[in-house]
Structure 1
Amino acid sequence: MKLSYSAEVAEALKNGVPIVALESTIISHGFPYPKNVELAEEMETIIRENGAIPATIAIIRGKITVGLELEELLHLAKSGDVRKCSVRDLSMALVDGVTGATTVASTSFIAARAGIRVFATGGIGGVHKAEEGANGFDVSADLLELSRTGVAVVAAGAKSILDLPATLEVLESFSVPVIGYQTDTFPAFHCRSSGLKLPAWTDNIGKLADIVDTHLQLGSGSGMLICNPVPEAAAMTNDEVDELVMAAQREAVGKGIKGAALTPYILGALDRLSKGRTSEVNLALALNNGKVAAELASCLAR
C-alpha cells in the first residue's frame, strides 16, 4: 500500500521520534469551518507540547496521506464534498481520486501500515441500541479493526449514544484488551464513567506503555483500547446525557434515519439540543486524549 508522508512525519519515522496518528473525520464531519481547523491545530499543538509528532491521516485527491501540510488541511476542512472512508471504502476512494476523511477503523488500518503504534481519537464506534431504529445488529467497523490491527487507540470510551455493555462484550469476544488510564470504569464519552468495570487499569503512564509494548510484542494481531475519561471540569452528568440522547433518538426514529447516517445525525442533534455543550465536551476530551497519547508514544519510543 503506497503512502504519502508529510516531510515532518517522514523525518520522525526515519529518526524514531514518537508519533501520534489522528483521524480526519472529526475535521470534515465533526465541526464546521473554521472551528474544525482550530481543533486540528490545537490537537497538533498539544501533541507536540507533550513530546510527539502529530500525523493526521486522510485521503487527499486519491492519495493516502500521513501527516497533512497546511494546504491539505484547509482543503479537507473547507471542501463540501469529502467522502467518509472506513476500511471498506479506501479502494474506491483511491481509484476515484477523491478526498476522503478517515474513521477510527481506517485511521488505525493506515497507521499500523505506516509503523505508527499510537492513535488518539474522541470516542470509538460500537454496538448501537436496538431502540435507535437500527436495522438489525448494527456494529461499528471500529471494533473489528481493533481486533486485527496492532495500534493502541486512546479514546474517551465509546460514544454515549451506544449500547456500552454490548460494546464491551464484543471487544472481549474479539480479544481486544481494554485498559483504563486513571479510571477503573469504562468512560461514556461525554461522561466520566458508565459504571461498567474495566478488566484492567493503571494510573501510571510508564506502566501503561509497558502493557502496550508487551501486547504488541506478543503478536496476537489485535490492537488495544486505552480508556481515558473526559476531564472532570468538562464532563456532563449521566442523567443530562441520557435525557439528550433519548430526545435525539426519538427524532432519528421519527425521520427514519438508519445505518451510517444514524451516528452523525444523533451527534448533531445532541449539539443542537444541548445548545453547543456537547461540542465543548468533545473538544475537551479530544485534546485530553491527544495529550495522553503523546505521553504514551514518548514512553514507547524510550
Structure 2
Amino acid sequence: MLVVSDVVVSDEVQAAVADRRPVVALESTIIAHGLPRPRNLQVAGELEEAVRAEGAVPATIAVLDGRPHVGLDKEQLERVANEDGIRKLGHRDLALAVAAGASGATTVSATALLAARAGVRVFATGGLGGVHREWTVTQDESADLGLLARTRITVVCAGVKSILDVAATLQRLETLGVAVAGYGTDRFPGFYLTDSGHPVDWTLRTPGEVAAVMRAQDAVGGPESALLVANPVPEAEQLDPALHARVLAEALEACAEGGITGQAVTPFLLDQLVRRTEGASLSANLAAVRGNVRLAGRIAAAWVER
C-alpha cells in the first residue's frame, strides 16, 4: 500500500491510479450510519461490485485508528459496518480524528477531500448536503458546498435532499462557482424525487460528455472547484411524489406546532420521512445510490480514455 502524507491508499487503488485505470470513490457514512446492520455491509458490497461491473476499481474511504484510508479491504469494510463507536466525519473532523487515533466514516466533504488527495477524480454518492430551511435565521449550511468549491472532483449525485431549501442550495452553488449539470435532464433531481421542481442550466447526456467537461476544467484553469453531475433516480423507483408532499407538509406543520427550529429541523424531517413512508424513502435512497455508482463507473472509464 502507498502512504501519501498520512493517507493510506490501498495497493489496488494505487495501481489503478498509476496505470490510469478507472477508479470511483465511495463514502462510508451510508455504511456506518445510513443503514441498519447487517444490511449495511451487504449494500457496501453491492456498491463496490457495481463499480467493478462497470470496469472500475472501487475506493471506499474511511478513517481507521487515526489513519485515513482510500480503498478498504474486506476486513476494514466489516469494521466500518459493524464496529460500535464509528464516528461520522466531515472534512473539518479529519485532523481531530487523526490526532486522536479515532475511527470514523466519511461524509461527502471528507470523502471528496481524501479522494482528491489520492488522485481519484470521480466520486459517487447519494445526495449532497445543502442550504437548510430557515437559513436566514440559523445560517445552517452543509460543509459539502464550501469544500466542493475548492476541490477538483466530479461528484455523481441525485441532487440534494428535498427536505432542504433546494432553490437556495442551487443559488449557493452558483455563488461558490461549482458547476452543476443534469445527466440526461434539464431538471435538478430531489434525491428521493426525480424532479425537485427546479431547472438546471446545463445537460450532459453521455459519460464521454462528462469526461470532456472534466478535461475542459483542467484546460481552462481557475479555482479548483468540483463538477456536480445530477443524476435523477428513475421515475419508477422514486418516492411517490404525492406521498412525499403530504408527509413533508405534515412534518413541517408538526415542526411549527412543536416549536422545532434551527438545526433540529432537518433531522426531524428526515426521521418523519423514513417513518411515515414505511421505508419507501429508504428504497428510493438506495435506488439513487446504485444508479449513481453505475454512472460514476462509466464516467471514470471515459475519463481515463485519452
- The normalised TM-score by structure 2 is 0.92
The 2-side partners of 1:191 and 1:219 are apart by 34
Q: Which residue of 2 aligns with 1:235?
A: 238
Partner of 1:180: 182
> Aligned to 1:16, what secondary structure does the other structure show?
coil
Question: For 1:296, which of 295, 299, 303 is the aligned residue?
Answer: 299
Aligned-partner residue type, residue 106 of structure 2: T
Residues 269-293 of structure 1, C-alpha deviations (whole Å, 9 max, x = no match): 3211111111111111100000000
Rounded Cα–Cα distance in structure 2 between residues aligned with 1:252 and 1:23: 30
Against the structure 1 CA distance between its residues 183 and 10, is the aligned structure 2 distance closer, same or farther, given a 3 Å change threshold?
Answer: same
1:233 Cα deviation after fit: 1.6
Q: Which amino acid aligns with 2:102?
A: V
Matched, 1:244 2:238: no
Q: Deviations over 1:111-144 (max 9, x none)?
A: 111111110000000011119xx96121111111
Could you tell me how far apart the structure 2 residues matched to 1:19 and 1:224 are?
A: 16
2:212 equivalent to 1:198: no
Deviation sequence 1:26-80 (CA, Å, 0-9, x none): 1111001111111111111111101111101110111000011111111111122
* In 1, Cα distance between equivalents of 2:21 and 2:273: 39
Name which of 43, 50, 54 aligns with 1:46.
Answer: 50
Q: Provide the residue aligned with 2:29 in structure 1.
A: 25
Q: 1:102 to 1:69 in 2, by over 3 A?
A: same
Tell me which residue corresponds to 1:75: 79
Partners of 2:47 and 2:34 lie apart in 1 by: 14
| Native 8 Å contact 1:25 1:101 kept in 2 | yes
1:107-186 aligned at under 5 Å gives the runs 107-130=111-134, 136-186=138-188
Residue 160 of structure 1 contacts residue 241 of structure 1 at CA under 8 Å; is this kept in 2?
A: no
Question: Do the aligned partners of 2:134 and 2:262 also contact (CA within 8 Å) in 1?
Answer: no
Preserved contact between residue 216 and residue 223 of structure 1 (Cα < 8 Å): no
Which 5+ residue runs of structure 1 have no aligned equivalent? none
- Structure 1 outlier segments of 4+, above 6 Å: none
User: Is 1:84 the equivalent of 2:88?
Assistant: yes
**Percent identity over paired residues:** 41
Across the aligned residues of Structure 1 and Structure 2, the Cα RMSD in angstroms comes to: 1.8
SS of the residue corresponding to residue 125 of structure 1 reads coil
2:229 is matched with which residue? 226
Cα pair 1:24 1:58 within 8 Å, conserved: yes
How far 1:265 sits from its partner (Å)? 4.5
Letter in 1 for 2:141: V
Q: How many residues align?
A: 299
DSSP-derived class of the 2:185 partner: coil
- How far 1:214 moved relative to its partner? 1.0
Deviation at 1:255, TM superposition (A): 7.5
Matched, 1:5 2:9: yes
Question: Cα distance, 1:5 vs. partner?
Answer: 1.8
Aligned residue in 1 for 2:278: 275
Report the CA distance shift for 1:4/1:232 in structure 2 as closer, same or farther (over 3 A). same
Does the Cα contact within 8 Å between 2:243 and 2:277 map onto a contact in 1? no
User: Which of 57, 62, 87 is the equivalent residue of 2:61?
Assistant: 57
Structure-2 change in CA distance of 1:60 and 1:251 (3 Å): farther
Distance 1:262 1:3, change over 3 A: farther
> Using the alignment, how far apart are the partners of 2:32 and 2:266 within structure 1?
15
Give how far 1:21 is off: 0.4
Report which stretch shifted further, 119-128 or 75-84: 75-84
Higher strand proportion, which one?
2
